[in-house]
């Protein structure tokens, strides 16, 4: 199939492009490189032997997007492009709503013009909000979030649901990611955020590399076994394969489906830190600091629906995630 991947030069997008090409799909990437680097396209080519078509454009630029659809047949779209820093979204809500909503609406309008009816959306476990019990199940009311970033995911899920109701010949799969970490085994792709990382694993690898002095663990007084927060960490390559499975599902079905992509296991911050040290045989200085605003004590996925509906389950261990994350960081 011919797949358009928006945000395809980013962390999850680039790993997904690799899996799509390995499975024989033709990929066109749309990415404005606002939070990604152009050499990712070279890395994808190095890994798969195929250079994806690449358009450096903003997804909210309708005319530019039309040009892509004119030049490339598009059977399905996987939409990753969007701003994603939780803390920044609290400070710049308008930028987040404008960018994330505009790009999705524009994409849907252009898809409609060109008769494209398959949409895979990069959503997040954040849509379950602060009040649902864990493990999170897809049928729980997902109408809450704790940041403007999270609300854009809630709103886009709503837009896609309403659009699918109005267009019963459309299929949208809303993939709710838990905490993706790790890197491609080649060490050529990985999570490489600009500036000081907000997320745990890129922070850990920069401490391990000596670029940051120490990790601060945000709180050890949570009601969890070791007092630190529990999350459902999954390998980014597993997550990428989940998109391939969602695509296979979307080709054969109509309507909208939300699906969790997680392992179904909660791992604490301290457990991850120790796993990283052990997997890589290196030291990782850390201190315990205060809790971070907005963090929930614990959540993980109920992973049954992904297994039953998409035939997908996470395969990689925490050790694989820690080793591959370090392999990538070492090469930087
Ligand atoms: C957050 C967002 C999620 C988003 C994801 C990836 C929320 C509720 N969650 O997940 O929507 O998709 O980022 O961008 O907004 N930690 C430390 N020290 C650090 C960094 C993190 O102790 O320096 C801890 C956090 O307290 C948390 C865990 O590590 O318990 C994971 O944090 P992080 O990687 O930022 O992901 P989430 O907050 O779970």
> 3 pairs with which residues across the strands?
27, 76
Ligand 1 in reach of 176 Cβ (< 6 A): no
Orientation of helix 318-330 relative to helix 200-208, angle to 10°: 50
Taking 80 as the threshold, does the pLDDT of residue 31 lie above it?
yes
Per-chain mean pLDDT for the chain? 96
Residues 91-136 pLDDT 10s: 999 999 999 999 999 999 999 999 999 999 999 999 999 999 999 9
> Which residue, among 246, 262, 306, 303, has the nearest Cα to 119 in the 3D structure?
246
Residue 277 CA to residue 307 CA, distance in Å, equals 31
What is the pLDDT at residue 280? 98
Q: Which residues are catalytic?
A: 149
Taking 90 as the threshold, does the pLDDT of residue 294 lie above it?
no
Query: Helix, strand or coil for residue 277?
Result: helix
What is the pLDDT at residue 253? 98
Mutation choice for ligand 1 from 218, 219, 239, CB with most ligand atoms inside 8 A: 218
CB atoms within 10 A of CB 330: 12
Ligand 1 in reach of 273 Cβ (< 6 A): no
d(CA 56, ligand 1 centre) in Å: 29
Taking 90 as the threshold, does the pLDDT of residue 143 lie above it?
no
What is the pLDDT at residue 208? 97
d(CA 128, ligand 1 centre) in Å: 15
89 CA to centre of own chain:
17
80 CA to centre of own chain:
7
d(CA 308, ligand 1 centre) in Å: 28
Contact 239, 15 (CB under 8 A): yes
Ligand 1 in reach of 249 Cβ (< 6 A): no
Taking 80 as the threshold, does the pLDDT of residue 332 lie above it?
no
Is residue 179 classed exposed, middle or buried when 0-12, 13-18 and 19+ CB atoms within 10 A define those classes? buried
Taking 90 as the threshold, does the pLDDT of residue 281 lie above it?
yes
Task: Identify the CATH class of 2-182+234-262+303-311.
Answer: alpha beta
**Nearest ligand 1 atom, CA 201:** 34
Residue 166 CA to residue 160 CA, distance in Å, equals 10
Q: Name the residue with the closest Cα to ligand 1, atom 19.
A: 200
> Which residue, among 131, 128, 148, has the nearest Cα to 85 in the 3D structure?
148
Percent of the chain with pLDDT over 70: 100
What is the pLDDT at residue 145? 85
d(CA 292, ligand 1 centre) in Å: 9
Average pLDDT over residues 20-43: 96
Ligand 1 in reach of 65 Cβ (< 6 A): no
Contact 321, 233 (CB under 8 A): yes
Residues 2-27 pLDDT 10s: 999 999 999 999 999 999 999 999 99
> Residue 193: which pLDDT band, with cuts at 50, 70 and 90?
confident
Contacts for 269 with CB less than 8 Å, ≥ 6 apart: 200, 217, 218, 228, 229, 231
Q: Name the residue with the closest Cα to ligand 1, atom 29.
A: 200
Q: Name the residue with the closest Cα to ligand 1, atom 10.
A: 179
d(CA 199, ligand 1 centre) in Å: 5
Ligand 1 in reach of 198 Cβ (< 6 A): yes
Ligand 1 in reach of 229 Cβ (< 6 A): yes
Q: What are phi and psi of 284, to 5 degrees?
A: -145, 95
Mutation choice for ligand 1 from 222, 231, 272, CB with most ligand atoms inside 8 A: 231
The one-character DSSP state at 28 is E
> Residue 274: which pLDDT band, with cuts at 50, 70 and 90?
very high
Residue 175 CA to residue 310 CA, distance in Å, equals 11
| N residues, the chain | 332
Q: Name the residue with the closest Cα to ligand 1, atom 11.
A: 126
Ligand 1 in reach of 150 Cβ (< 6 A): yes
Residue 146 CA to residue 140 CA, distance in Å, equals 16
Residue 274 CA to residue 307 CA, distance in Å, equals 29
Spans of all domains in the chain: 2-182+234-262+303-311
Residues 308-321 pLDDT 10s: 999 999 999 999 99
Is residue 133 classed exposed, middle or buried when 0-12, 13-18 and 19+ CB atoms within 10 A define those classes? exposed
> Which residue, among 190, 185, 129, 122, has the nearest Cα to 156 in the 3D structure?
122
Quick check: bond before 88 cis, omega within 30? no
d(CA 95, ligand 1 centre) in Å: 21
């Amino acid at each position: 199939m011919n797949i358009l991947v928006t945000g395809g030069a980013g962390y999850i997008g680039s790993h997904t492009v690799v899996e799509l090409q390995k499975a024989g799909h033709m990929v066109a990437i749309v990415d404005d490189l606002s939070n990604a680097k152009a050499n990712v396209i070279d890395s994808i080519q190095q890994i798969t032997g195929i250079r994806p078509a690449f358009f450096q454009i903003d997804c909210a630029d309708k005319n530019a997007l039309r040009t892509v659809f004119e030049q490339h047949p598009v059977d399905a779209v996987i939409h990753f492009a969007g701003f994603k820093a939780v803390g920044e979204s609290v400070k710049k809500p308008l930028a987040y709503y404008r960018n994330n909503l505009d790009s999705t609406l524009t994409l849907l309008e252009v898809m409609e013009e060109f008769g494209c009816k398959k949409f895979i959306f990069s959503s997040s476990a954040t849509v379950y909000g602060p009040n649902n019990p864990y493990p999170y199940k897809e049928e729980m009311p997902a109408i809450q979030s704790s940041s403007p970033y999270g609300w854009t995911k809630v709103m886009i899920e709503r837009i896609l649901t309403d659009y699918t109701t109005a267009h019963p010949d459309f299929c949208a799969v809303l993939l709710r990611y838990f905490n993706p970490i790790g890197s491609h085994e080649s060490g050529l792709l990985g999570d490489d955020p600009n500036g000081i990382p907000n997320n745990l694993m890129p922070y850990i690898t920069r401490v391990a590399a000596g670029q940051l002095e120490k990790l601060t663990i945000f709180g050890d007084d949570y009601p969890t076994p070791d007092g630190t927060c529990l999350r459902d960490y999954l390998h980014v390559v597993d997550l990428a394969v989940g998109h391939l499975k969602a695509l296979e599902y979307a080709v054969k079905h109509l309507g909208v489906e939300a699906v969790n992509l997680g392992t179904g296991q909660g791992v604490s911050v301290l457990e991850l830190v120790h796993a990283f040290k052990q997997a890589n045989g290196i030291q990782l200085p850390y201190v315990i600091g205060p809790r971070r605003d907005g963090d929930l004590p614990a959540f993980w996925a109920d992973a049954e629906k992904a297994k039953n509906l998409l035939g997908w389950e996470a395969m990689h261990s925490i050790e694989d995630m820690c080793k591959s994350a370090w392999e990538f960081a070492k090469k930087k």
